A and B are shown apart, each in its own frame.
Chain A
Amino acid sequence: MSAPPISAQRFIGQRVPRKEDGRLLTGRGSFVDDIILPGMLHAAFVRSPIARGTIRSIDTDVARAQPGVHAVLTQADLAPFGVTMLSFFLGPVEVAMTPLADGRVAYVGHPVALVIADDRYLAEDAASLVVVDYAEEAAVVTLDDARLGPRVHPDTDDNVAALMGEEEADAALEALLAGAPHLVSQSIRHQRIAQSPMETRGVVASLQGESELLVHITCAGPQLVARWLTLALDRPGLSVRVVAKDVGGSFGLKNHPWMEEVSAILAAMLLRRPVKWIEDRIENLTAANQAREQEMTLRAAFDTNGRLIASHADYALNNGAYPMGADANIAVHMFLWAAYNIPAYSFVSRGWYSNTPGLAAYRGPWAIETLARETLLDRAARQIGIDPVEIRRRNLCTAADQPSVTPLGIPREDITPAQCLEKLLEVVDVPAFRAEQAAARAQGRYLGLGLAAYIEPTGAAGSIAVMTGELAQLRIEPTGRVVAVMSVHSQGHGTQTTMAQCIADQLGVPIEDVTIFDGDSSRGGFGPGAGGSRQGVIGGGAAIRAGRLLADKVKAVAAHLLNASPEAISLSDGMVHVAGAPEMRRTLREIAEIAYGEPGRLPPGMETGLEAQYRYDPPPMTFTSAAHACIVEVDADTGFVGIRRWVSSEDCGVMINPAVVEGQIAGGLAQAIGSVLLEDAARDAQGNPTAATFKDYALPTIFDVPDFEYVHADTPSQAEGGFRGVGEGGCIIGPPTLVNAIADALAPFGEVPVDLPLTPAKLMTVIEGQPWPERPVSRFHPDHRAPEVDAPAPVAPAVAAVAPAIAVGIDGAWKLVLATPMGPQPMVAHFQVAGDRVTGRLEADQGSQEFTGTLSGDQVRWEMKVTKPMAITLKYELTFAGSSVSGKCKMGLFGTAKVRGERA
């Protein structure tokens, strides 16, 4: 790789107007519902009105007989396709799952049947005529229900979808907590959030003969969808092409297809007609996957100077019935204290199944770590009696503290949360605010200042199989125009602009001459799409490196043609220049025409054309840091929160386009405001959604969001271009910033529980000294006194009689599934028992490894060392019972993961 071109960068760092805006402002975008194909039919779903139960019968006769109805499909019709539903990590989901309900329904909104008709009106009419007879059972809705109630899925041992960390208390850590001068503990609750992209989900599927399935779909990345569908359908000879030109937001919801999209695609294959399904808003708010329903109890110990000693988190995440990957959210713990210096941290983390829509990603899926930590720090400051700024200054990881490694093994080399805080405090005059606050309180007005700091992992690649590098395929066409096909994909991110900025700088061309194509899996190589704040970092790096390769080739061609040395050639204004010889300049078009059409004039042996590609793999993790401040006024008569000021001080490295950066921060902050004050995808005790429209699910309007102010730190990262990701940060740091401001405002009345959303009614209880509204006791709790109309019907046990454990029953091959943070890991284990000694071999996709362990009763234990993704010792502890086996694997700093299996 040669040095960058001589031409100065011109577009990176500029507030370049977006290339996307011309078509989007004039109604010429191409969203999935804009796709109309000849012969296209329309789909509408019949959905379960109950949260939990069995299907006794489905009568489709009347619906099928309606004019214009082509088919009424149930799982019996789709079963022959043998689709395997996959998680985001492209492994099979942890529980049995079918595109349409197969005998049982597990949430209100669960798709039961699919009507295909000439238009959507007719399809919905007919859907209402499908008669389904259910045997209803008591629904498992809340996290408490999941802990106490019957099993959501008949084939699981309990409702724990995923488990990480240490279930038994760590005596050494508990001693640190108990012996500390200050122990601060806080239990917080985050409500369920509907991602609510303005464009709902949707798909138009059509078979192109026998060998190609064309899928137009609104998604977060067409290549990932194509990969997911190829694996899920598993039909040799069928290639899947996925097109998504314009996408109206995703925010984690549209990472890959789910039941509805798969059902519509199978319908198109079955009927051999194009089928369109466009989700309506009621479906989107009630039946699409959701996120964020979580609880955490965080404890932190401080010394007499307010410095952190140790911390422990007990965390629970509602996974719903069918999560897009069972999840205990290990990232919460990896990053909880990563911006701070803390000697010891331990956790237990559980994902729980419930009879609610499944867990999907939402912008900053691990964000509760920052909410829990930053609200606890403010509480600690009040408890210990030091300033909220000071407690952060004493504990944040500064430049002097690096390089260092967190207790969970996260290496820190160039994080800047402390610098971001100091820059923030140059703009926000805290002493002046305190004076204003005191004066206001004297008048009965309650102002509050909230602060928060954090770091965020961005642009990750290489440690999780699906999170790959990004590809830029670049060419200067014979016309002189520059075209790049990129593996990145925009759902509003503006990558058609920012990637063009990166390329235009390398090739010295006007940005108008660069076109980015990114919406078609048949063009361009694999990339996972938007997620993990990765596209600027990795896509930008790929664009720069491909641009540099192509610039080098242009220079080599030009130097040969113009009899100059390559070092004397420079590219700018769409021209090739020779140093000291301005009369010898040529347009890129002239060079390109020769490069493609006159091989004889090229340097000997050079490939014709002007094309280059580069797949960029960045450093494993690139951190973005930030500190935010927010000033609110809480009306003590109404409990309404008015946001008066909000300042963001972030360090996302070199900014490709500051307007795009600020747009990402602002959008995340608006969503944070929604989470703290407004949004609540709640369900009642029967599992019915109580927010079914945008009248009940309150998104922030223009009046709920203040003007944001920005301070940028711009510390270049070690990634190509020096970029750091910025897509999710506002949604991570925003909630605690606002919660802390509200708590500061209402401090004269007492502590404000972190129990989102902080509605006016809830805040009035603090102001009026009333008890915070209690959540209803779980219907499965012994103290629950409400009359039961439908007694819980226990699901039949998955495993019948447990055979007495005997050593000879262990010998041989077993199929195991290890529930890792990256999704289920299938393995085959071979055991050979001799006395109390066990030898064996564990085989997985990555390879095979021998082990030696011990047998005690029906329990086998062994240890083995692995080196990927990092060097850790795995400690297995399995209990055998007849033809099934279950247990756990301690995975070093990743904690403990569940293992289940059966005889191979």
Chain B
Amino acid sequence: MSEHRISMTVNGQQHRGLVDGRLMLSDWLREAAGYTGVHVGCEQGVCGACTVIVDGRAVRSCLMLAVQADGCSLTTVEGLAAADGTLHPVQQALKDNHGLQCGFCTPGIVMTLAALRADGARPDEAAMTEAMSGHLCRCTGYQGIRRAIRQLAAEDGTP
């Protein structure tokens, strides 16, 4: 085992810590930094529930070590809504369209769609749907997720 000092920005907040080299980023975010919205569904990089944004890109935090995120800027699902509680458009679209049931896979889906829209990008329906290939949902049959994607594309004028 090796120990490493790391620091990273999560949702605009600076976090520091001493971690084992083998500690998964998902475990660091959940247990050390307190972002329990990062859900661990498979630890194998398949289900996508643990997806967070690292330096602008959607990343499976169960496949990344905490040390690898040293110096990075991260966003988790807790950091998406505005300070006044206004939901991010992706969150709002999923809510409007009953895009979730148990909500366990939801944070990862939200983060993948939000990453696609970072820096003002406006992906079309096909691009957003394609990105869902990396997410498993056992509850919804993806119906509300598809409707949310269509709503986002329609709002953006990119159907």
A18-B95, A121-B20 given as contacts; is B142 within 8 A of A670 (CB)?
yes
Residues of A within 8 A of B61 (CB): none
A670-B142, A701-B132 given as contacts; is B76 within 8 A of A25 (CB)?
no
Please measure, in the bound complex, the distance between the C-alpha atom of A717 and the C-alpha atom of B15, giving whole angstroms. Answer: 56
Q: Is there an interface contact between B35 and A27, defined as CB atoms closer than 8 Å?
A: yes
Please measure, in the bound complex, the distance between the C-alpha atom of A693 and the C-alpha atom of B62, giving whole angstroms. Answer: 14
Q: Is there an interface contact between A693 and B44, defined as CB atoms closer than 8 Å?
A: yes
B92 (CB) vs chain A CBs: closest residue? A25
Binds A, one of B64-72, B98-106, B116-124, B151-159: B98-106
Residues of A within 8 A of B81 (CB): 26
- Which of B22, B44, B103, B137 is A24 in contact with, Cβ under 8 Å? B103
Report A626 CB to chain B, min CB distance, Å. Answer: 16
Residues facing A in B133-159 (CB within 8 A) are 133, 135-146
Please measure, in the bound complex, the distance between the C-alpha atom of A7 and the C-alpha atom of B95, giving whole angstroms. Answer: 29
Q: Is there an interface contact between B31 and A24, defined as CB atoms closer than 8 Å?
A: no
Report B92 CB to chain A, min CB distance, Å. Answer: 8
Please measure, in the bound complex, the distance between the C-alpha atom of A799 and the C-alpha atom of B76, giving whole angstroms. Answer: 61
Residues of A within 8 A of B107 (CB): 27
Q: Is there an interface contact between A27 and B36, defined as CB atoms closer than 8 Å?
A: yes
Residues of B within 8 A of A121 (CB): 20, 22-23
A708 (CB) vs chain B CBs: closest residue? B143
B94 on interface, CB distance cutoff 8 Å: yes
A189 on interface, CB distance cutoff 8 Å: no
- Which of B105, B142, B144 is A198 in contact with, Cβ under 8 Å? B105
Please measure, in the bound complex, the distance between the C-alpha atom of A374 and the C-alpha atom of B144, giving whole angstroms. Answer: 29
A44 on interface, CB distance cutoff 8 Å: no
A699 (CB) vs chain B CBs: closest residue? B136
Report A738 CB to chain B, min CB distance, Å. Answer: 13
Q: Is there an interface contact between B137 and A198, defined as CB atoms closer than 8 Å?
A: yes
Q: Is there an interface contact between A694 and B98, defined as CB atoms closer than 8 Å?
A: no
A34 on interface, CB distance cutoff 8 Å: yes
A858 on interface, CB distance cutoff 8 Å: no
Residues of B within 8 A of A659 (CB): 98
A6 on interface, CB distance cutoff 8 Å: no
Q: Is there an interface contact between A492 and B139, defined as CB atoms closer than 8 Å?
A: yes
Report B5 CB to chain A, min CB distance, Å. Answer: 19
Residues of A within 8 A of B8 (CB): none
B9 on interface, CB distance cutoff 8 Å: no
Please measure, in the bound complex, the distance between the C-alpha atom of A33 and the C-alpha atom of B77, giving whole angstroms. Answer: 17
B40 on interface, CB distance cutoff 8 Å: yes
Please measure, in the bound complex, the distance between the C-alpha atom of A199 and the C-alpha atom of B44, giving whole angstroms. Answer: 14
Q: Is there an interface contact between B78 and A28, defined as CB atoms closer than 8 Å?
A: yes
- Which of A27, A33, A247, A666 is B76 in contact with, Cβ under 8 Å? A27
B56 on interface, CB distance cutoff 8 Å: no
Report B98 CB to chain A, min CB distance, Å. Answer: 4
- Which of A17, A199, A660, A694 is B136 in contact with, Cβ under 8 Å? A694
Q: Is there an interface contact between B102 and A27, defined as CB atoms closer than 8 Å?
A: no
Report B152 CB to chain A, min CB distance, Å. Answer: 14
The contact string, 1 if C-beta is below 8 Å from chain B, for chain A 673-704, is 00000000000000000000111000111110
B25 on interface, CB distance cutoff 8 Å: no
Please measure, in the bound complex, the distance between the C-alpha atom of A669 and the C-alpha atom of B35, giving whole angstroms. Answer: 33
A716 on interface, CB distance cutoff 8 Å: no
A707 on interface, CB distance cutoff 8 Å: yes
A642 on interface, CB distance cutoff 8 Å: no
Residues of B within 8 A of A26 (CB): 37, 77-78, 80-81, 87, 91
A25-B100, A29-B103, A36-B31 given as contacts; is B77 within 8 A of A703 (CB)?
no
- Which of A17, A25, A667, A703 is B106 in contact with, Cβ under 8 Å? A25
Q: Is there an interface contact between A17 and B95, defined as CB atoms closer than 8 Å?
A: yes
A393 on interface, CB distance cutoff 8 Å: no
A491-B102, A695-B46 given as contacts; is B138 within 8 A of A196 (CB)?
yes
Please measure, in the bound complex, the distance between the C-alpha atom of A281 and the C-alpha atom of B100, giving whole angstroms. Answer: 21
A646 (CB) vs chain B CBs: closest residue? B141
Residues of B within 8 A of A145 (CB): none
Query: In this complex, which of B30, B42, B144 has the most chain A Cβ atoms within 10 angstroms of its Cβ?
Result: B42
Please measure, in the bound complex, the distance between the C-alpha atom of A662 and the C-alpha atom of B147, giving whole angstroms. Answer: 13
A250 (CB) vs chain B CBs: closest residue? B102
The contact string, 1 if C-beta is below 8 Å from chain A, for chain B 1-42, is 000000000000000000010110000001100011111111
Please measure, in the bound complex, the distance between the C-alpha atom of A252 and the C-alpha atom of B107, giving whole angstroms. Answer: 24
A17-B95, A25-B100 given as contacts; is B136 within 8 A of A198 (CB)?
yes
The contact string, 1 if C-beta is below 8 Å from chain A, for chain B 108-122, is 001000000000000
Report A579 CB to chain B, min CB distance, Å. Answer: 38
Please measure, in the bound complex, the distance between the C-alpha atom of A62 and the C-alpha atom of B37, giving whole angstroms. Answer: 37
In the complex, how many residue pairs between chain A and chain B have their CB atoms under 8 Å apart?
163
Q: Is there an interface contact between B36 and A666, defined as CB atoms closer than 8 Å?
A: no
A757 on interface, CB distance cutoff 8 Å: no
B55 on interface, CB distance cutoff 8 Å: no
Q: Is there an interface contact between B138 and A669, defined as CB atoms closer than 8 Å?
A: no
Q: Is there an interface contact between B141 and A705, defined as CB atoms closer than 8 Å?
A: yes
Please measure, in the bound complex, the distance between the C-alpha atom of A29 and the C-alpha atom of B137, giving whole angstroms. Answer: 17
Q: Is there an interface contact between A660 and B98, defined as CB atoms closer than 8 Å?
A: yes
Please measure, in the bound complex, the distance between the C-alpha atom of A26 and the C-alpha atom of B133, giving whole angstroms. Answer: 22
- Which of B38, B104, B132 is A248 in contact with, Cβ under 8 Å? B104
Report B142 CB to chain A, min CB distance, Å. Answer: 4
Q: Is there an interface contact between A669 and B141, defined as CB atoms closer than 8 Å?
A: yes
Q: Is there an interface contact between B43 and A280, defined as CB atoms closer than 8 Å?
A: yes
- Which of B36, B100, B133 is A702 in contact with, Cβ under 8 Å? B133
Residues of A within 8 A of B100 (CB): 18, 21, 24-25, 492
Query: In this complex, which of A20, A251, A662, A663 has the most chain B Cβ atoms within 10 angstroms of its Cβ?
Result: A663
The contact string, 1 if C-beta is below 8 Å from chain B, for chain A 650-673, is 000000000110110011111100
Q: Is there an interface contact between A198 and B37, defined as CB atoms closer than 8 Å?
A: no
Q: Is there an interface contact between B102 and A199, defined as CB atoms closer than 8 Å?
A: yes
A493 on interface, CB distance cutoff 8 Å: yes
Please measure, in the bound complex, the distance between the C-alpha atom of A601 and the C-alpha atom of B36, giving whole angstroms. Answer: 49
Please measure, in the bound complex, the distance between the C-alpha atom of A707 and the C-alpha atom of B149, giving whole angstroms. Answer: 13
B49 on interface, CB distance cutoff 8 Å: yes
Report A365 CB to chain B, min CB distance, Å. Answer: 17
A31 on interface, CB distance cutoff 8 Å: yes
A197 on interface, CB distance cutoff 8 Å: yes
Residues of B within 8 A of A707 (CB): 143, 146
Please measure, in the bound complex, the distance between the C-alpha atom of A27 and the C-alpha atom of B136, giving whole angstroms. Answer: 17
The contact string, 1 if C-beta is below 8 Å from chain B, for chain A 587-622, is 000000000000000000000000000000000000
- Which of A21, A491, A663, A694 is B47 in contact with, Cβ under 8 Å? A694
A26-B87, A702-B133 given as contacts; is B102 within 8 A of A197 (CB)?
yes
Report B124 CB to chain A, min CB distance, Å. Answer: 15
A663-B101, A702-B146, A707-B146 given as contacts; is B95 within 8 A of A25 (CB)?
yes
B42 (CB) vs chain A CBs: closest residue? A281
B129 on interface, CB distance cutoff 8 Å: yes
A457 on interface, CB distance cutoff 8 Å: no
Residues of A within 8 A of B132 (CB): 701-702
Q: Is there an interface contact between B41 and A24, defined as CB atoms closer than 8 Å?
A: no
Q: Is there an interface contact between A27 and B141, defined as CB atoms closer than 8 Å?
A: no
Please measure, in the bound complex, the distance between the C-alpha atom of A669 and the C-alpha atom of B143, giving whole angstroms. Answer: 11
Please measure, in the bound complex, the distance between the C-alpha atom of A673 and the C-alpha atom of B154, giving whole angstroms. Answer: 29
Known: A26-B91, A34-B36, A198-B139. 15 other contacts (CB 8 A): A18-B100, A25-B94, A27-B76, A28-B78, A33-B36, A197-B138, A198-B41, A198-B104, A199-B104, A200-B41, A281-B42, A667-B141, A668-B141, A701-B132, A708-B143
19 A–B pairs (Cβ distance < 8 Å), ordered by A: A17-B95, A25-B103, A25-B110, A27-B35, A27-B107, A31-B104, A34-B36, A198-B47, A249-B104, A493-B101, A494-B101, A662-B98, A662-B143, A667-B141, A670-B138, A693-B44, A694-B136, A702-B145, A705-B142
Residues of A within 8 A of B (CB): 15, 17-18, 20-22, 24-29, 31, 33-34, 36, 121, 196-200, 246-249, 251, 280-281, 491-494, 659-660, 662-663, 666-671, 693-695, 699-703, 705, 707-708
Chain A to chain B: the 10 pairs with minimum beta-carbon distance, closest first = A27-B37, A248-B104, A24-B103, A492-B102, A670-B141, A492-B101, A666-B141, A694-B46, A27-B77, A34-B36
Residues of B within 8 A of A (CB): 20, 22-23, 30-31, 35-44, 46-47, 49, 76-78, 80-81, 87, 91, 94-96, 98, 100-107, 110, 129, 132-133, 135-146
